[in-house]
A and B are shown apart, each in its own frame.
Chain A
Amino acid sequence: MMDWRAIWLSARLAASTTAILLVVGMPLAYWLAFSPRRWKFLAQAAVALPLVLPPTVLGFYILLAIGPRSPVGALYARLTGGMLPFSFQGLLLASVLYSLPFTVQPIAAAFAAVDRKLVEASWCLGVSRMATFRRVIAPLARPGIATGAVLSFAHTMGEFGVVLMVGGNIPGVTRTVSISIYDQAQALNYAAAGRTSLFLLAISFTALALTYALQRRFWSLWPTS
């Protein structure tokens, strides 16, 4: 029997994370792609950090940062009456930070690849920076944006260490699919673990195949510059 509850929770978490990351990640990617600031490399390194940091380390710091004694945790408790650690919201926050580079890097690369002259041409036609972003940069960077979304979704679906540190293992609240697999394997229930693993494998492969298919279509559509 597959743990549908855990799968559903993971899907919800991945979808919310991706949505938040698109909103947060686009302006960040824009800044990384176009800012002339000299210390930009520091921000780039900070964004990329989750790629190399052990998930447990990241999870540990997030746990400290959102605990009830931290300013963030205290503020959250005052506003909502709840606590961030071992809750879906806390998990969501951790996922967003953990998957940040998976969204921001492909999008920033796609923004930077947009011919600078097209952007300048738009400005000289009297079109504002915001509208230029909407009408020129975003459409031309669409495959990069799609890649960022797919990667952060797939990455969140499969995350384990951070979830364990921040979310624990509460069925229906923080028990995600990868933790469910771990539990099943620990309980020597290999058949169930195998089914759930296969399901996750299929999802990951589909997501990646989709990403590459999108990119291939992109190049055949716009082979310029």
Chain B
Amino acid sequence: MANELICRCRKRLASGFELDADLRVPLGESPVTVLFGPSGAGKTTLLRLLAGLDRADSGEIRFRGETWYDSARGIHQAPQQRRAGFLFQDFALFPHLTVARNVEYGAPRGKRKGLLEAFGLAALAARFPREISGGQQQRVALARALAAEPALLLLDEPLSALDAAARARTRHELRRALLDGGVPAIVVTHDRTEAVALGDWMAVLADGRIRQAGPVREVFRHPADAQVAESVGVENVLPASIVAREGGLLTLQIGPARLECVDAKDAFQTGGAGDCPVWACIRAEDVALARERPRDSSVRNRLAGRVQSVLVEGPLARVELDCGFPLVACVTALSAGEMGLKAGETVYAAVKATAVHLTE
């Protein structure tokens, strides 16, 4: 019994969109798999095929050696048989049932006692879904799905219904809850921060096709092609460690360089120097370039770097730098031309402290 999920499916929608997904997820290595891609890439469509809510036109879906769908053999298991828990974007809690009834809804008889306590929801037991916050609804929905003892958990943009503050708070909670649940999970998202924070493994979906699949950091660091690079946002996802925390600023060590960033939340504890590994995410658009070392600037981080390559794409230029660690900047083609940027030259990169985002 191979511990993997195999999905090779074609599905044409009424809109003319065609999904042609070829995906293989090693469930053993990847407790949480992120299905990443821009909106309209077919992520939700693929998730619904996996759940059995929609039927593919052709192909097969196999989960741990069990055939969920096989067009050649005419097999299409109902959602009830697959036992793939599905978390809807807006959680789809039953409005006429209390939190307790919602959580117990799909749980096997005899295992309904103590569920709320186990999920830390006892305080909300008698409330109705409309009476609790979005974050609480999300926890109830996850508890409800896990209580039904699913073989696989499918989450459709689980954080999108929450406001920005709740999202940041919930990301790590969700990751922990998924790991604690012990059920392999597939999470759909179009948000890079979410992908890095939640996933171990990730598959990039664009235009209905899986373009790349592998460990999250691998995909971010080495996008397989330009389309993947574009959809993962050509982000700088850099291994860093927190070396100091002072006055609302964190100092990061990235390779030989040091960067400062805003201490956004208390999620990251600093002990001694260098013992807290995190990932620093910097959007390429947030990196400014200068010929001279900038003086009298409000920008906290000024790094000398050597230009590795300059790639002009329409009005923009993508500049790869070596600052002791790889850093990608995105500037206008006009600026790149005026500065006469060429490979091998030294420039200065400026990154505002507020543009450096940390994730575990």
Contact = CB atoms under 8 A, between A and B. Distances in A.
Instruction: State whether these chains interact.
Output: yes
B40 interface: no
Contacts of B53: 120, 123-124
Given A123-B53, A124-B86, A224-B130, A118 B92 contact: yes
A128 B144 CA distance: 16
B105 interface: yes
A123 B88 contact: no
Given A125-B85, A125-B148, A224-B95, A120 B79 contact: yes
Interface string A94-108: 000000000000000
Given A124-B86, A126-B148, A224-B130, A140 B78 contact: no
Contact of A118 (B51, B94, B106, B150): B94
A124 B105 contact: no
Nearest to B51: A124
Contact of A128 (B80, B90, B145, B150): B80
B96 A127 contact: no
Contacts of A183: none
- Secondary structure at chain B's binding surface: helix, strand, loop or mixed? loop
B136 to A, nearest CB: 16
Contacts of A224: 95, 130
B84 A117 contact: no
Contacts of B85: 124-125
A222 B150 CA distance: 29
A172 interface: no
A225 B94 CA distance: 12
Interface in B66-118: 78-80, 83-86, 88, 90, 92, 94-96, 105-106
A160 B168 CA distance: 67
A126 B92 contact: no
A122 interface: yes
Interface of B: 51, 53, 78-80, 83-86, 88, 90, 92, 94-96, 105-106, 130, 144-145, 148, 150
24 contacts: A118-B92, A118-B95, A120-B53, A120-B79, A120-B86, A120-B88, A121-B86, A121-B94, A122-B106, A124-B51, A124-B53, A124-B79, A124-B145, A125-B85, A125-B144, A126-B148, A127-B80, A135-B105, A139-B96, A140-B95, A140-B96, A222-B95, A224-B95, A225-B95
